[in-house]
């Protein structure tokens, strides 16, 4: 019976991409007045002993239009712009938490801020700079629907501790479009594209060819039975006109499968 040969080549995902979202809601609350801060262009994060004069902030993004599935998210970074407070900048470490309940910008109160687990922390030691923090795991959960997206809580990492240094930091809110909080979501890098492979019959032999350029690390494998796995091809590849070329003499098997593989 005439031998039949099949060729398999690996595929790769679409090219990587990044999407930048700006916040759809953001605000801050001053504990002493139990209300939002009058200055709507800034988000204040402040610590105080006894929490009487503390400030916490909320930032939320709309992920509904994000065309990157949860399983394809390579990274997600929260970017917020540090501003110089009128009352004096006092840098320190800011903790980013998952917000645990729905909220609105109007009528926001202190008890509406419900920080859940800490997502990340970042030291803010300068004003008038972008501050960036990785929030990939939580954003992937939001996109997958395993967590409800109520946004982020920004609060001092250490607060209401006797002897600890106070923090007083401001960030720019969404009302200043060019400095509004950002969420940058990047698709994971796809695997390397495999070389294009050709197969033909010449003089009673099966000839397999693929380009030398871009084929580093790829090796030819073969098998008679896909259920038994793949083995490296014993055939020796030679170069000809910029192509790797393998000539295979059909044996007793009625079929043989080939593929290029890269560990």
Both 243 and 161 in one domain: the answer is no
DSSP-assigned beta bridge partners for residue 60: 25
**What pLDDT, on the 0 to 100 scale, is given for residue 81?**
97
Both 205 and 176 in one domain: the answer is no
**What pLDDT, on the 0 to 100 scale, is given for residue 11?**
40
Is the CB of residue 131 less than 8 Å from the CB of residue 79?
A: yes
Q: Where are the beta strands (DSSP E) in 135-242?
A: 152-156, 168-172, 182-187, 198-202, 205-211, 219-223, 231-232, 238-240
Domains identified in the chain, total number: 2
Is the CB of residue 13 less than 8 Å from the CB of residue 263?
A: no
Q: What is the pLDDT of residues 114-150, one digit of tens each?
A: 999 999 999 999 999 999 999 999 999 999 999 999 9
d(CA 201, CA 222): 17
**CATH assignment at residue 159:** 2.60.120
User: Of 155, 187, 219, which residue is a domain's last?
Assistant: 187
**What pLDDT, on the 0 to 100 scale, is given for residue 235?**
81
**CATH assignment at residue 226:** 2.60.40
Q: Look at residue 191 and tell me whether its pLDDT is greater than 70.
A: no
Both 167 and 238 in one domain: the answer is no
DSSP-assigned beta bridge partners for residue 154: 57, 96
pLDDT band, residue 88 (cuts 50/70/90): confident
d(CA 253, CA 246): 18
Both 163 and 205 in one domain: the answer is no
Both 127 and 77 in one domain: the answer is yes
Both 116 and 145 in one domain: the answer is yes
Which of residues 217 and 62 earns the better pLDDT score?
62
Nearest to 172 by CA among 83, 91, 57, 77: 83
Both 62 and 158 in one domain: the answer is yes
pLDDT band, residue 16 (cuts 50/70/90): low
User: Of 157, 187, 217, which residue is a domain's last?
Assistant: 187
Both 43 and 10 in one domain: the answer is no
Q: How many CA atoms lie within 13 A of 33 on its CB side?
A: 11
Q: Look at residue 252 and tell me whether its pLDDT is greater than 70.
A: no
Both 9 and 27 in one domain: the answer is no
Nearest to 135 by CA among 43, 73, 206: 73
Q: Sheet with 231-232: list strands edge to edge.
A: 4-8, 255-261, 219-223, 231-232
pLDDT, mean of residues 22-50? 90
User: Of 146, 171, 187, which residue is a domain's last?
Assistant: 187
Nearest to 261 by CA among 197, 206, 174: 197
Both 126 and 198 in one domain: the answer is no
Output the pTM of the full model. Answer: 0.68
Domain containing residue 174 = 18-187
Is the CB of residue 230 less than 8 Å from the CB of residue 222?
A: yes
Cβ atoms within 10 Å of 163's Cβ, excluding its own: 5
Both 113 and 229 in one domain: the answer is no
Cβ atoms within 10 Å of 226's Cβ, excluding its own: 12
Both 80 and 209 in one domain: the answer is no
Ranked by mean pLDDT, the top range of 101-115, 159-173, 178-192 is 101-115
Tokens matching residue 67: 């065309």
Nearest to 85 by CA among 24, 25, 30, 35: 30
């Amino acid at each position: 019976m005439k031998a039949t040969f099949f060729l398999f080549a690996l595929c790769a995902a679409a090219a990587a991409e990044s999407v930048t979202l700006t916040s759809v809601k953001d605000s801050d609350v001053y504990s002493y007045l139990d209300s939002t801060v009058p200055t709507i262009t800034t988000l204040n994060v402040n610590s105080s002993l006894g929490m009487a004069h503390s400030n916490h902030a909320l930032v939320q993004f709309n992920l509904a239009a994000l065309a990157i599935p949860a399983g394809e998210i390579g990274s997600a970074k929260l970017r917020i712009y540090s501003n110089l407070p009128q009352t004096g900048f006092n840098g320190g470490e800011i903790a980013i938490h998952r917000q645990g309940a729905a909220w609105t910008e109007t009528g926001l109160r202190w008890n509406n801020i419900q920080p859940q687990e800490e997502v990340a922390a970042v030291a803010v030691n300068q004003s008038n700079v972008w501050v960036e923090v990785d929030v990939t795991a939580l954003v992937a959960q939001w996109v997958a629907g395993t967590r409800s997206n109520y946004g982020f809580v920004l609060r001092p990492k250490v607060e209401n501790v006797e002897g600890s240094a106070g923090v007083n930091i401001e960030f720019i809110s969404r009302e200043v479009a060019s400095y509004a909080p950002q969420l940058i979501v990047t698709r994971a890098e796809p695997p390397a594209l495999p070389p294009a492979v050709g197969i033909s019959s010449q003089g009673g032999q099966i000839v397999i060819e693929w380009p030398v350029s871009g084929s580093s690390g790829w090796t030819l494998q073969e098998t008679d039975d896909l259920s038994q796995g793949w083995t490296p091809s014993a055939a020796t590849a030679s170069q000809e006109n910029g192509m790797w070329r393998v000539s295979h003499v059909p044996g007793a098997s009625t079929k043989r499968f080939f593929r290029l593989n890269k560990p």
